[in-house]
Structure 1
Amino acid sequence: MGLRMSTAKATKPCERQATLDYTTSEAGNPFVDGWYADPGSAVYDGLFWVYPTSSHTSEAQTYLDAFSSPDLINWTKHPNVLTIANLAWTTKALWAPSPVSRNGKYYLYFSANDLQEDAGNLGGIGVAVADKPEGPFVDAIGKPLIGSYHNGAQPIDPDVFIDDVDGKAYIYYGGHSHANVAILNEDMISIGTFDDGETFKEITPKNYVSAAKMFKRNSTYYLIWSEGDWDGPNYCVSYAMANNPLGPFDRLATVLQQDSAIATGTGHSSVIHVPGTDIWYIFYHRRQLSETDKNHRTLAYDRMYFEEDGSIRPVTMLVKDNFADGAMLDWTTYGGEWSVEKQRLIAKETSGGMAMLDTNFADLVFDATVATVKGNGHPGLLFRVTELSRTTHKYKGYKAAISPSGVITLGKADLGVFTDLAQTRMDMALGKEYHVRVVAIGSDIKIFVDDMEKAKIQFIDGSFTTGANGVRTFNAAAMFGSVSVAKPRCS
């Protein structure tokens, strides 16, 4: 679920505030490599941990990996923290892990075998335990913790929340459009009963599908959950607020949903709170716009903000990459030789090459630093790009380019036919980085270089209305940094 705090290692709040005050994954989403989904998250001894599902067919979901980070930028992979080799009753569909620590032990609650109500097979929610966050985790009880349907809820997608008021541990779970909550006993591996004698209480909010998650901010309890079809574009996250961990949980709003410019299938989330601050992030999985395989899901996070009344603002997915993680996970290259060095995307000198993001922006504000390292070509930013050929590298779209000779160019390409739309000059130097900004709203296109108050070029052209973003180099070695693509505030 959300934050799992540990006080074993002291960290100054001011240091956390200074180093982890991000608007999104500033080094790019996805923030780790590979097909993953359903991220459960925790904070243990100063490290942030994410435990996701390995996003493959259910028969291939036989293991769980984990990732840890000191700064939410640089992530270390811990493979096979739990596998079916350590679970005698599990054969497939090992998914949706939820981590928590108590009594000096680390627990991982998980779904397995995709139990169906009328199938008669063994499956449901299990619990594994380890001495370290990275495992290896082993089966704690040798059977499902919750192995049957109660109140119509499929026993999947567990989440464990320990309340700081009374120390009680609650397990939230449920698929097939029903959600339950139960109490875990002190041993964390058996189900207890409520004061009224009930074992499983139904808490299903309106439109609920699966993936109930609980977190607490100040004295308010937040339940978030997923709605829509997990394998479709409309998968999303909604939430409710309550003054106790049992609700009632009345649906308030959708807090995270697809953005046709960035990604689809945004769901099954968890929340991380940076200790000592009021900084919160929502971790979730999503699909890139060009993906058609339902299991090709990747991990992302964005900042989550609260209003004065405690309600959650709708999350805005952002596109950024400062290359601080030394990787270019969200980029696809077309020609040229590309690498990441010293927080810059480097293009070696070739006749030409492109590196593209899987985006589809119409109106946009596109920022990046651009420098020509060698040669006298014209590296720059590509926007509203469509029909890009992997073999010929021909495309339709616009380019905003600069050269060390001082020429600033706005041009367009139409499947190999290049047209310079406008040019101007300013003093430039080889090897110096320049902040280039493109603002395109409808057919009005502006190019800024260093001075963000006065456009160097303003031109009207309506040839291309939407498409992908990227960078390009031609007859030059170049470097790019601090990439950001967003919708204009007025759009």
Structure 2
Amino acid sequence: MGLGTSKIIRTLPAEPEAALDYTTSEAGNPFVKGWYADPGSAIYDGLFWVYATPSRASEEQTHIDAFSSPDLINWTKHSNILTTANVAWATKALRAPTPISWNGKYYIYFTANDIQEDDIEVVGGIGVAVADKPEGPYIDAIGKPLIGDYHNGAQPTDPDIFIDNTDGKAYIYYGGQSHANVAMLNEDLISIGTFDDGATFKEITPESYVEGASMIKRNGIYYLMWLEGRRDGPDYCVSYAIADNPLGPFDRLAKILHQDSAVAKGTGHNSVIQVPGTDIWYILYHRQPLSETKENHRIIAYDRMYFNGDGTIQPITMLVKDNFADGHMLDWTTYGGEWSVEDQRLTVKNTGGGMAMLDTNFSDLVFDAIVATINGNGHPGLLFRVTELSAETHKYKGYKAAISPTGVITLGKADLGTFTDLAQTRMNMVIGEEYHVRVVAIGNEITVFVADMDTAKITFIDESFTTGANGVRVFNAAAKFGSVSVAKPPRS
């Protein structure tokens, strides 16, 4: 067919973007605003594209949105690129988009109506829509589902398209309710073909498979990824298998992405992006913030995906970073003060007291940030192991490591309005100048570094708080913060 390379490289930029060498979404996850799920991805004419399902109840899922970016940092939203108004047989549960381009056209494969095996009177399943531009509008290509029935016990849901660069053949991987299938696509990409043995749908279900099949190829190795577990359970995760051909067999190797009690829960339904001309790979997926209890409050995120020398995939580490390069503070909640992002800094006007918090829950940690006092004599600093916080009074329980323009470095703890200095020291500081502040907390030992990351300014033993949220705090000052990173200490 000559469709190009693998599913993840649809249309290559003119020049490789080797500079896009990130460890995670450096400007923060979620990387776009809103409740979304099921991110599918592509690269068209030098832009990265992500197509996502608004995370809502099935009856309210009547459209799909897209986001484009030249650098995986700054994203432009394209609303309603596909709606049920343009798919006559779809009424709800429009979800799980996966994109591809071919012969100057752009295609979206999707699921609609969430059909069940005994719904013999209900039309639904996997559809395909086509457009002249990546941002649509997309319209139904065939006027009916591409796959509208159960085959081999697989619910027709969660499609993924893969083009093999060995022979140009196109495959569709899909399946829910613990069964996965693969089928051939004909050259028109809107009809199902047959395999050499005459079969139409081949079952490839790996161990523990639930839904969300995804295929990539790297260095001649075929990688099948999928969802396991219950969406609302602790075992919800992405696992994978490898094979030497696109039909398997796919023997489960390991989990590669699962919830982290310090960062997020409900991690799943992935796609993958490779930066063209490089061996840099990112896994895109949906997840739920730790404090969210509504099942459809999900966000889309991405993290770096690394491979071992033998081709296996390393476990994905969900990192917490925000360099504010996108001009937003999407993953922050503020309490008091007037907060904004200016020149890649989280900035707060002079206030009697204010906080900006991340939805995290770290115990042992390495917490880095740039801190500067713009004006005033207060003590801006980093909050960690925060266990309680009052939205009304802005009082909290937890630790604070702060600096002041007079040169005072303070480690203290707060107990809902009562603040206790644990340790102080001094160094020369200048108002307006930025200082790198690092807190390392392992067990009951807390170490604070300022400017010099080799020599600690404060080391103190305290066991008042063992785990909690992270954020920044300002008191009687205007301040700015940047290059925020919270991570688990490296293993010794």
Q: Same fold (TM over 0.5)?
A: yes
Q: Are the aligned partners of 2:7 and 2:100 in contact in 1 as well (CA < 8 Å)?
A: no
Q: Are the aligned partners of 2:113 and 2:123 in contact in 1 as well (CA < 8 Å)?
A: yes
What displacement does 1:233 show?
A: 3.9
The equivalent of 1:104 in structure 2 is: 104
Is the aligned partner of 1:445 residue 2:474?
Answer: no
* Partner SS state of residue 18, structure 2: helix
* Partner SS state of residue 463, structure 1: coil
Is the aligned partner of 1:3 residue 2:8?
Answer: yes
What displacement does 1:22 show?
A: 0.1
Q: Are the aligned partners of 1:214 and 1:224 in contact in 2 as well (CA < 8 Å)?
A: yes
Matches within 5 A, 1:255-270: 255-270=256-271
Matches within 5 A, 1:176-325: 176-325=177-326
Matches within 5 A, 1:159-178: 159-178=160-179
- Equivalents in 2 of 1:368, 1:85: separation in Å? 47
Matches within 5 A, 1:12-411: 13=16, 16-18=17-19, 20-120=20-120, 121-411=122-412
Q: Are the aligned partners of 1:2 and 1:213 in contact in 2 as well (CA < 8 Å)?
A: no
TM normalised by structure 2 equals: 0.98
- Equivalents in 2 of 1:165, 1:457: separation in Å? 59
Q: Are the aligned partners of 2:129 and 2:138 in contact in 1 as well (CA < 8 Å)?
A: yes
Q: Are the aligned partners of 2:208 and 2:228 in contact in 1 as well (CA < 8 Å)?
A: yes
Paired letter, 1:61: Q
- Equivalents in 2 of 1:45, 1:252: separation in Å? 35
- Equivalents in 2 of 1:470, 1:110: separation in Å? 39
Q: What is the total number of aligned residue pairs between the two structures?
A: 486
Change (3 A) 1:2 1:466: farther
- Equivalents in 1 of 2:67, 2:185: separation in Å? 26
Q: Are the aligned partners of 2:339 and 2:348 in contact in 1 as well (CA < 8 Å)?
A: yes
What displacement does 1:126 show?
A: 0.2
- Equivalents in 2 of 1:390, 1:367: separation in Å? 25
* Partner SS state of residue 59, structure 2: helix
* Partner SS state of residue 182, structure 2: strand
C-alpha distance after superposition, 1:407-431 (max 9, x if no partner): 0000000011100000000000000
Paired letter, 1:249: F
- Equivalents in 2 of 1:485, 1:63: separation in Å? 35
Paired letter, 1:103: N
* Partner SS state of residue 40, structure 2: strand
Q: Are the aligned partners of 2:10 and 2:100 in contact in 1 as well (CA < 8 Å)?
A: no
Q: Are the aligned partners of 2:68 and 2:77 in contact in 1 as well (CA < 8 Å)?
A: yes
Q: Are the aligned partners of 1:287 and 1:297 in contact in 2 as well (CA < 8 Å)?
A: yes
What displacement does 1:232 show?
A: 3.2
Paired letter, 1:277: T
Q: Are the aligned partners of 1:235 and 1:257 in contact in 2 as well (CA < 8 Å)?
A: yes
What displacement does 1:5 show?
A: 2.9
C-alpha distance after superposition, 1:106-132 (max 9, x if no partner): 110000000100022110000000011
What displacement does 1:386 show?
A: 1.1
- Equivalents in 2 of 1:235, 1:194: separation in Å? 33
The equivalent of 2:465 in structure 1 is: 464
What displacement does 1:2 show?
A: 5.2
- Equivalents in 1 of 2:235, 2:52: separation in Å? 21
C-alpha distance after superposition, 1:41-93 (max 9, x if no partner): 00111100000111000000000000000000000000000000000000000
Paired letter, 1:86: N
* Partner SS state of residue 389, structure 2: coil
- Equivalents in 2 of 1:119, 1:307: separation in Å? 45
What displacement does 1:351 show?
A: 0.3
Gaps in structure 1 of 5+ consecutive residues: none
* Partner SS state of residue 17, structure 1: coil
* Partner SS state of residue 333, structure 2: strand
C-alpha distance after superposition, 1:359-406 (max 9, x if no partner): 000000000000000111100000000111111111100000000000
What displacement does 1:235 show?
A: 1.4
Q: Percent identity?
A: 77
What displacement does 1:441 show?
A: 0.3
- Equivalents in 2 of 1:441, 1:310: separation in Å? 34
Q: Are the aligned partners of 1:347 and 1:478 in contact in 2 as well (CA < 8 Å)?
A: yes
RMSD: 0.9
- Equivalents in 2 of 1:315, 1:237: separation in Å? 10
- Equivalents in 2 of 1:380, 1:338: separation in Å? 15
Paired letter, 1:72: L
- Equivalents in 1 of 2:172, 2:471: separation in Å? 44
* Partner SS state of residue 59, structure 1: helix
C-alpha distance after superposition, 1:233-263 (max 9, x if no partner): 4310000111111001000000000000000
C-alpha distance after superposition, 1:178-199 (max 9, x if no partner): 0000000001000000000000
C-alpha distance after superposition, 1:267-305 (max 9, x if no partner): 000000000000000000000000001111000000000
Paired letter, 1:457: I
* Partner SS state of residue 85, structure 1: helix
- Equivalents in 2 of 1:379, 1:106: separation in Å? 50
* Partner SS state of residue 239, structure 2: strand
- Equivalents in 2 of 1:112, 1:488: separation in Å? 44
Q: Are the aligned partners of 1:2 and 1:271 in contact in 2 as well (CA < 8 Å)?
A: no
Q: Are the aligned partners of 2:336 and 2:353 in contact in 1 as well (CA < 8 Å)?
A: yes
The equivalent of 2:3 in structure 1 is: none
* Partner SS state of residue 402, structure 2: strand
- Equivalents in 2 of 1:230, 1:423: separation in Å? 47
TM normalised by structure 1 equals: 0.98
* Partner SS state of residue 252, structure 1: strand
- Equivalents in 2 of 1:249, 1:474: separation in Å? 57
- Equivalents in 2 of 1:169, 1:215: separation in Å? 12
Paired letter, 1:201: K
